[in-house]
Amino acid sequence: MDNVLTYIVSGYNYWAALILIMIGMYGMIAKNNLLKKVIGMSIFQSAIILFYISISYKSNASIPIIAHGHGVADHTAIDPNLYVNPLPHVLMLTAIVVGVATLGVALAVLQKIYRVHGTIEEDEILESIKE
């Protein structure tokens, strides 16, 4: 029991991302309302962003800005353990932009669906297609 707890606690950020991914997948697969599917998609993308951000963390490290680094003549070697990894943050800035764009396109298409079919419930749309 103790081992299991340590196992879960040691990687709690991965568990959180996993649970969020599962919630997002559930929303996309099981929900009947198309807007809820879009929300599930957004949760799914955010979970991956959190996953990336969490892997850049180091204990007892500070933000990746080198104090007095600029213009100092003697370039002493920088200890990477003192700073969190900035690269995943930068990558996720791009991923956030992509996520916002996807959300925008999905909502625009959803609006068109509502205008054409008069509803955003999937089963009602399928009914109206069959007729």
Partner 1 sequence: MIAAQTPILILLAPLFSGILITIFAQKSKNVAFFLLILGMVGSFSAACNVLLQVLQGSGPIHYRLGDWPPPFGIELVIDHLSGMVLFMVSGAALLTAIYSKHTVEVEIPDRIHHYYTLYTLLVSGLLGMVATGDVFNLYVLLEISALSSYALLARGRGLAYIATFKYIIIGTIGASFYLLGVGYLYIKTGTLNMADLSTMLATPEMHQSPSIKIGFIFIILGIWIKMAFFPLQGWLPNAYSCASTTTSCLIAPLMTKVSVYIMIRLMFSVFSADYIFKTLQWQQFMVWMACIAIVVGSVSALAQRNLKRMLCYIVVAEVGYMVGGVWLANSNGFSGAVYHIMSDVMMTLCLFMAVGAVIYKTGETSLEAMRGIFRRMPITAAAFLVGGFSIIGIPPTCGFFSKWYLITGAIETGQFHFVIALLFSSLINAILFFRIIEIGFFSPFDENGHGTHQVIVVNEAPAMMLVPMVISAASLIIIGLYTRFLMSNIVQWTIPVGL
Q: Shortest approach of partner 1 to residue 82 CB, angstroms?
A: 17
Following CA atoms 55, 56, 60, 63 in sequence, which dihedral angle do they give, to the nearest 10 degrees? -150
16 versus 91: smaller Cβ distance to partner 1:
91
Contacts with partner 1, residue ranges (CB under 8 A): 21, 25, 28, 34, 37-38, 41, 44-45, 48, 51-52, 55, 88, 91, 94-95, 98, 101-102, 105-106, 108-110, 112-113, 116-117, 125, 129
Q: Shortest approach of partner 1 to residue 14 CB, angstroms?
A: 10
Q: Which amino acid is at 60?
A: N
d(CA 9, CA 11): 5
Number of Cβ within 10 Å of residue 106's Cβ equals 17
Q: Shortest approach of partner 1 to residue 91 CB, angstroms?
A: 6
SS3 label, residue 121: strand
- Which tokens is 95 given? 């991923």
Q: Shortest approach of partner 1 to residue 34 CB, angstroms?
A: 6
